[in-house]
A and B are shown apart, each in its own frame.
Chain A
Amino acid sequence: MNDTSPIAQRRKAACTAFLQRVREVHGSGPMTASSLSKIKGLLLDLAARRELFPDADFALPDAQGRSHMLDDAANDGYGLYLTVNLPGKEAAPHDHGIWCLNAGLSGLEEQRFWRRTDDGKKQGFATIEQIDEAIVKEGTAISMLDHDIHSTLVVGTAPSRCLALYGYALNRFPEVLFFHPQFSSVRACASKRGPGRLQAAQA
């Protein structure tokens, strides 16, 4: 990513201002649906400034998916990224453990939303059912609260480019739970913040 060009400087300023507004809307407590909805509007406004995010400044992945950090706020703040994913790149249904937003810049990303249907008492076992779906593309966005479950798949023939905002930076992420309907299983990606929910349940 080119960090020294005039566009990069304007992008940095825009991202800094955006995160300041996010902090003001969020406040200090847990994220609420109302605040998240407002922040979604802010992220859409940022994504609409397409000239700040030229494709040439954000390399395609070596494989099929890459996240370019736009702003990793200090002191355990939010994580703002530009993600580039190629057609076919997917993520199984997962619960980030933290709220997130995704706004499209270009391409098509299919988002499916799920609900857990078991009681969570059997270790490693889970059942889920799909409750909604959406396509993230230019001019659209989706939002999820802390334990919402979604899966993603890049569809079409072009790379999907999105702005993604998380409650924590990716390198300070909590445990992420992945659900696999074909095996009725749930598996955890280890927390980068200490013991996670499945680890705590095993203790």
Chain B
Amino acid sequence: MPRTRRYKITVGNAGKTIPCTSDQTILVAAITAGIDYPYACATGNCATCISRLEAGMVDLLPHGDGALSRKQEDAGLTLACRARPRSDVKIAWL
């Protein structure tokens, strides 16, 4: 069982840096911290939480092709509802 790690997530739109564990999505960490992050399905289907990953690394939980294409991912976009940090992260919703 991998050890849970703790990272810092800076949400540019909110001007806040919040804690997030490696088994937590950035969206959940943001809502828990009181940030009004845009979301709807929160399960990788609708892309309401699509965001620009400005720095850092994330792992993505399963999501639909229509929510985030490989091209978008290659261009630095991510889904906050599916993204779990693998380093400190800077992110901003679109």
Q: Chain A: residues with CB nearer than 8 A to chain B?
A: 61-67, 86-92, 94, 176, 178, 180, 182-183, 187-189
Contact = CB atoms under 8 A, between A and B. Distances in A.
Contacts of A178: 40-43, 46
A178 B31 CA distance: 16
Nearest to A151: B43
B42 A61 contact: no
Contacts of A61: 64-65
A86 B48 CA distance: 22
Report the 3 A-B pairs with minimum CB-CB distance, sorted nearest first. Answer: A64-B62, A65-B64, A88-B62
B41 A189 contact: yes
A117 to B, nearest CB: 19
Nearest to B64: A65
Interface in B63-84: 63-70
B39 interface: yes
Given A65-B62, A92-B41, 11 more contacts: A63-B63, A64-B44, A64-B62, A64-B64, A65-B65, A94-B41, A178-B41, A187-B42, A187-B48, A188-B40, A189-B48
Contacts of B21: none
B40 A91 contact: no
Given A90-B62, A189-B48, A62 B41 contact: no
Which DSSP category, helix, strand, loop or mixed, fits chain B's interface? loop
Interface residues on B, range: 20 to 34
A67 B64 CA distance: 9
Interface of B: 28, 31, 39-46, 48, 60-70
Contact of A63 (B28, B39, B43, B64): B64
Which DSSP category, helix, strand, loop or mixed, fits chain A's interface? strand
Contact of A86 (B40, B45, B62): B62
21 contacts: A61-B65, A63-B65, A64-B44, A64-B62, A64-B63, A65-B44, A65-B62, A65-B64, A66-B65, A66-B66, A67-B66, A88-B61, A89-B44, A89-B63, A90-B62, A92-B43, A94-B41, A176-B46, A178-B41, A178-B43, A189-B46
Nearest to A183: B31
B72 to A, nearest CB: 10
Contacts of A66: 64-66
Contacts of A86: 62
A92 B42 contact: yes
Candidate in A63, A86, A176, A189 with the most chain B CB atoms within 10 angstroms: A63
